[in-house]
Amino acid sequence: MTLYVLFLVLTAAVLHASWNLLAKKTKGRTPFIWLQYVASNFLYLTFLFLIKNGDGSIYSQPLLWFSLTSGILHCSYFIILQKGYRSADLSVVYPLARGSGPLFASIAAILFLHEPLKLGSTIGLFLIIAGVLFITGLSIKKENNSRIIMGVTYGVLTGLFIALYTLNDTVAVKSYGLSPLLLTLATNIFSAILLFPFMAGQKTELNREIKSHKWTILAIGFLSPAAYILVLEALKYAPLTVVAPARETSILLGVFMGSKVFDEKDGKRRLIASALILCGIVVLSLC
């Protein structure tokens, strides 16, 4: 990995953890997510006329289909993620969401692509699963077990959609030469269109979100695409198996932020569990 790629990925990790912290604070629902997409489209609109695909064009059929598919997956991702943040701690949902994506990808490769279960893969999967179990800390004596279970459920579901849209967008950038910025902008436009029908009758909620969280909406509208564009740009110069584990350093940042900003309990245990998950991702990437 070159210093340029490392810079892209680590910057993306910081931006990603930061906008998730903001999202957790708002506990926003679908109107908030839609406003976030609208803000993002507004902020990045000027770039739409300055960028082109690898073949020199702005519009292409692969861009249409990949951005539409990515829009569906990203909408599902954001809705489930925000539901998780309303139901559980950031230091539970965030690391599970980021760690379960590679876990799903590896299991799918073993089950459906008949890839051999190597020793390194076994160790990596074991570390991730151990981290997941350690982060839950379930006990029959604990009163907040239901909250932790909700966090695990939504975290893992979020990870599933992370795995799906990452695969979709990686193919778009590496195999079809689509511009990362153009793909992200087109995805955001489709996402806003897809969520628009659900805004019917939500005028009061939309006004409330704008009044209460307008600066947060603008911040996430800028930070979320920026973080993802940096990752897609890095994928043009380095394989996914290298970019993915470096990107997931955001796991540790997310848990640290959750413990410090929201005073979430079990911060040390969750940080250790997140480190196990991150180590598992690194080991999987080396197999």
Cβ neighbours of 209 (radius 10 Å): 22
Consecutive 10-residue averages of pLDDT for the chain (287 residues): 82 90 86 93 76 56 91 94 88 81 68 67 74 61 68 88 85 83 89 92 91 94 90 79 70 75 71 77 69
CB atoms within 10 A of CB 201: 7
Instruction: Determine contact, residues 102/281, Cβ cutoff 8 Å.
Output: yes
Domain regions of the chain by residue span = 3-286
- Structure letter (DSSP) for residue 197: G
Collect all residues with Cβ–Cβ distance below 8 Å to 238 and sequence separation of at least 6: 1, 2, 5
Task: State CA 181 to chain mean position distance.
Answer: 17
- What the block records as the tokens of 250 is 């955001």
The pTM is what? 0.80
- Residue-level pLDDT at 191: 94
The CA distance from 36 to 59, in Å, is 24
pLDDT on residue 106:
66
CA of 257: how far to CAs of 211, 250, 264, 287, in Å? 25, 10, 9, 31
**Cα–Cα distance measured from residue 201 to residue 30, given in angstroms and rounded to the nearest whole number:** 12
Report the amino acid identity of residue 211: K
Residues 251 and 136: their CA atoms lie apart, in Å, by 15
Q: Write down the pLDDT at residue 139.
A: 46
* Contact status, residue 1 vs residue 242, Cβ threshold 8 Å: yes
Closest CA to 107 of 85, 82, 132, 89: 132
Please, is 142 exposed, middle or buried when counting C-beta atoms within 10 Å of its C-beta (0-12, 13-18, 19+)?
A: exposed
At residue 49, the pLDDT reads 62
pLDDT for the residue numbered 228: 85
Q: CB–CB of 35/209 below 8 Å?
A: yes
Q: How far apart are CA 192 and CA 71, in angstroms?
A: 9
